[in-house]
Amino acid sequence: MKKLLVVGIIILLVWMSVPSTGINVEKSTASSNGNILYVGGSGPGNYSKIQDAIDNASDWDTVFVYEGMYYENVIVDKSIDLIGKNQETTQVKGCFIIEFTSYVNIKGFNIDAENKTGILVKGLDYYHTVRNCIIKENIITSNTNGIKLNRVSKNIIINNLLKANVGILLEGGDYISECNGNIIHNNSISSYCKGLGSGIWIKTTSGHPQFPGECAGNLINNTTISDFKYGIFVDEILCYGTTISNNKIVDNSYGINIDLLGLYHSKKHPKHIISGNFISNNIHGISCNQNYNYHDNIISNNSIGLITKCGGGVKRNTFENNSKLGLNVIFPSSIVIEENNFINNSRDASFYKLLIFPFYIFFSPWNRNYWDDLKNSPYLIFGYGGLLFSLIKIYNSFMCDWHPAKEPYDIGV
């Protein structure tokens, strides 16, 4: 009996030590530790300008802003909570800049930034970065950037409504500066000018060859993005390890476009993960040219569903009702394509491969996929081949799915 009691206590202690894996967006700052300064309203001693209250605040204070219109560009250089009473009616005609300061919350504002960035979170380099800021429940309109994180890491952007030419910009820089580990969760982003710009743009300004920056390990989750040229655009070789999951990406020219130069990061750095997304009514659903894993996505009603190359895996996705092509794979020998649904596409799949490998018959990357037009097994996928570094068609070829599924997989988002 004593042994059982000891074992039970050990199990309880182990269970209590397991950390939570959910997205935690709360932090203890001014609301529990500092003073509250008021802006607007009718209380005695209230400030009339947001900047005046911040200038007179100390770290861990709260600046609470009543409803009204405030014409100012606000610089936040202290670790404070900056809270608007109502995100509809606490209006700022201007912008917010968090400059070299961690632990700042900005919540509950309606920001009309015009030709400025609505909220800029700005660091300097690896040693002078900004962390643990939360931008939450704001409405932001801008004809440039809605929110920009520049050389900062481990910040959270959550529950915002954005209308801008670039909804959210994550930017690394030179001299070992980083824009890593940021979380973008449950936002709604639409284009200020339909068909232009990017919903989320991830990039570096890595102009220094010896001391480059990076933009890595960021999470884009449960966010709706629509009406842009690029829903999500990643465009530098030092942007890697991004997780793009459970988003709704619709009505863009390119739903997700990842255009990394060269093969620099293909083995050295973590792959991007694109999972659980609903990607629909784009010209290109996903267009990527590097090392990724795609799984559990619904890719439907696009012109072309997915174009991919150079490794990774395409597993348990549904390609449905794409008007030209469901899936196009470039250099398919280095990729795994299995347990996907291909339903009612104009053409389900194609590939491009090198001239030196004219036929992939016995070493096919295609396995256990469901094809709605399956008549015989194995299922033949037709494509073409050419020379290295040239996508010019030289000959026709085919590959085989030796074990096609007889029923579609249950893949939901």
pLDDT in tens, 121-149: 998 766 678 999 999 999 999 999 999 99
Per-residue pLDDT band for 155 (boundaries 50, 70, 90) equals very high
pLDDT at 256 over 90: yes
* Positive or negative: CA dihedral 312, 315, 320, 325: positive
The residue behind tokens 């800021």 is 133
CB burial class (10 A; 0-12, 13-18, 19+) of residue 52?
middle
Q: How far apart are CA 93 and CA 111, in angstroms?
A: 6
Per-residue pLDDT band for 205 (boundaries 50, 70, 90) equals confident
pLDDT at 398 over 90: no
Per-residue pLDDT band for 16 (boundaries 50, 70, 90) equals very low
Report how far apart, in Å, the C-alpha atoms of 379 and of each of 326, 331, 366, 370 are: 16, 19, 9, 10
User: Which pTM value belongs to this model?
Assistant: 0.88
Quote the mean pLDDT of the chain.
85
Q: How far apart are CA 96 and CA 119, in angstroms?
A: 5
105-107/156-158 β-pairing: unpaired
The residue behind tokens 């060859």 is 209
CB burial class (10 A; 0-12, 13-18, 19+) of residue 2?
exposed
Average pLDDT over residues 39-46: 94
For 402, list phi and psi in degrees, rounded to 5. -75, -20
Domains (ranges, CATH) in the chain? Answer: 28-355 (2.160.20.10)
| pLDDT reported for residue 311 | 67
For 342, list phi and psi in degrees, rounded to 5. -120, 110
Whether 76 and 63 have beta carbons less than 8 Å apart is answered as no
| pLDDT reported for residue 23 | 53
Per-residue pLDDT band for 264 (boundaries 50, 70, 90) equals very low
Q: How far apart are CA 350 and CA 45, in angstroms?
A: 70
Q: Output the six-digit token pair for 54.
A: 């911040």
| pLDDT reported for residue 159 | 98
Q: How far apart are CA 169 and CA 150, in angstroms?
A: 8
* Residues whose CB is less than 8 angstroms from the CB of residue 152 and which lie 6 or more positions away in sequence, other chains included: 121, 122, 123, 129, 130, 131, 133, 179, 182
Q: How far apart are CA 96 and CA 26, in angstroms?
A: 21
- Lowest mean pLDDT, pick from 45-54, 284-293, 300-309: 284-293
Residue 381: which H helix or E strand, with range? strand 379-386
Q: How far apart are CA 231 and CA 250, in angstroms?
A: 8
Q: How far apart are CA 288 and CA 135, in angstroms?
A: 30
| pLDDT reported for residue 19 | 36
Whether 57 and 74 have beta carbons less than 8 Å apart is answered as no
| pLDDT reported for residue 2 | 42
Amino acid at 7: V
The DSSP code for 405 is B
Q: Output the six-digit token pair for 191.
A: 């284009």
395-401/379-386 β-pairing: antiparallel
DSSP 350-370: EEEEETT---BSSS-SEES-E
Alpha-carbon dihedral of residues 150, 93, 199, 219, nearest 10 degrees?
A: 50
Alpha helices in 102-255 (DSSP H): none
pLDDT tens per residue, range 73-114? 999 999 999 999 999 999 999 999 999 999 999 999 999 999
Residue 165: which H helix or E strand, with range? strand 161-172
